[in-house]
Structure 1
Amino acid sequence: MTGAEYAVIAGIIFLAACLQASSGFGMGMLAAPVIAIIDPALLPATLILLALLVTVMVTVTERQSLDLRGTGWALAGRLPGSIVGAWLVAVSSKEGLAWVVVAVVLTGLVLAGRGWAPRPRRVNLIAAGAASGIMGTATSIGGPPMALVWQGHEGPRLRGTMSAFFMVGSTISMTMLWLAGAVTPQMLVLALWMVPAVVAGYAASRYVNRFLNPRRLKALALGASALGSVLLILQLLLAA
């Protein structure tokens, strides 16, 4: 990659880490389409590793507000979902995964826009965890299912619960990808280079939280995700 491409990735990772730390999700929805434009081979492991770092920091910060019972039921679905997601990575082409990224982001946007809000009951939590495992492992975008089922939580409880789930879930996903042979040295090196951008994004979120109310934050996440998806679709069509 060129220096300009590294700079673009660092910039989007900074914004995505800030969004993730502020809302509890959104890093994959914002960053994955842009990274897929530059080099689809970097997904999903690079972004999952960086998201893992964000979730660890937020979980520690918001540890007093966790919904441990709900997190446990969601994780019960995450493991089998992650196995399926790793299989999809192993058998799919890079271009195919890029289209999956588009489909996942657009589906999340449509559901969020329609205001669908399933109750956080045991069955729904397990199903959402499984869907998150499949999507998160295959595309690095596992946030939409959990955001739908936990959208009734607010502030620290939402950030802490989502982050605790994704901290464990991302670890499971990385293990499955590693066993499937889908983690390359290039992914690990890029993730290491992007650590400062992640830390800076987390630090910025502590200030952003004071000015962005939930409505504005949701609008920012959906708008950025939609723009990234449109750019990725254009890139895929031009390359066809």
Structure 2
Amino acid sequence: MPLLLCGLAVFAGAVVQGGVGFGLGIVCSPIIAMLLPGTVPGAVQVVNASLPVLTLAAEWRRVDWRGVGYALIGRLPGSLLGGLVVVYVSTRTLGLLVAVMVMVAVVLTARSVAVPRTGGTLTAAGFLSGVTGTATGIGGPPIALVYQNAQGAQIRATLAMFFLLSTLQSLVILAVVGKLPPDVLGTGLALVPFVFLGFLASRPLRRRLQGRRVRIAVLSVATLAACALLVQSLV
């Protein structure tokens, strides 16, 4: 039952990310951290690595390679720092970090903070994404904020390429520090089918769903999940 509920959260997150380019980690990470706490962030990273492949298969020509390059420069040191966080904090503390990260992401996404797209901001966003992505499985918001004014296809393709390369980087680091054991890897792979289903569901829904309503619903669900995880971690 916990795995099925986590799968439903992954499905919902994949629907969101399939349409707007990010959101999978924000939706599913707090649920997985609550129900299967020992699998975060490894299982979430396995899930995060699968969806970008589907997006790139359709829209790889729209990737902003310059932006991806700058972001990856910052991502490597950020991922190393995130790996240290995973090693030296407890599961309870990691749950608190996930909850806080989700809340920060919700606030920034809701406010649509304007961030100029330069080499410096992309590198800084890549660094923050590396820290939070490796430590909690939620690395999308910093990069998404920089690309929020880009065209739909460009933001989806660019974020997908960045997520694919950076998630593989985080998985290697987690494996090196001993935080990707077979059971965690197996849990992540068991959730991958829900990613495919969510991506397929997002395609016809892109044209029909009102962007504002979907955004409000996603932010509301993410906030509730983060609050529940916060209470569970504190108790």
Per the normalisation by structure 2, the TM-score is 0.96
Q: Is 2:170 the counterpart of 1:173?
A: yes
Partner of 2:3: 6
Q: Residue 16 of structure 1: which of 13, 34, 41 is its match?
A: 13
> Percent of counterpart pairs with the same letter?
35
The structure-2 alpha-carbon separation of the partners of 1:167 and 1:92, relative to structure 1 and needing over 3 Å to count, comes to: same
Partner of 2:117: 120
Partner of 2:206: 209
Partner of 1:186: 183
Partner of 1:76: 73
Per the normalisation by structure 1, the TM-score is 0.94
> Is contact 2:93-2:233 (8 Å) kept?
no
Question: Which consecutive residues of structure 1, in runs of 5 or more, have no partner in the other structure?
Answer: none
Q: Residue 56 of structure 1: which of 43, 53, 57 is its match?
A: 53
Residues 26-175 of structure 1: pairs in structure 2 closer than 5 A: 26-175=23-172
- Secondary structure at the counterpart of residue 207 of structure 2: coil
AA aligned to 2:203 is: R
> Is contact 1:24-1:162 (8 Å) kept?
yes
Higher mean Cα deviation, 35-44 or 119-128?
Answer: 35-44
AA aligned to 1:143 is: G
AA aligned to 2:15 is: C
Deviation sequence 1:164-207 (CA, Å, 0-9, x none) = 11010101111111111110111111122222211111111111
Question: Which consecutive residues of structure 2, in runs of 5 or more, have no partner in the other structure?
Answer: none
RMSD of the TM alignment (CA)?
1.2
Q: Is 2:232 the counterpart of 1:231?
A: no
AA aligned to 1:82 is: S
Deviation sequence 1:190-226 (CA, Å, 0-9, x none) = 1222222111111111112121343233223312211
Q: CA deviation at 1:69?
A: 0.9
Runs of 4 or more above 3 Å deviation: none
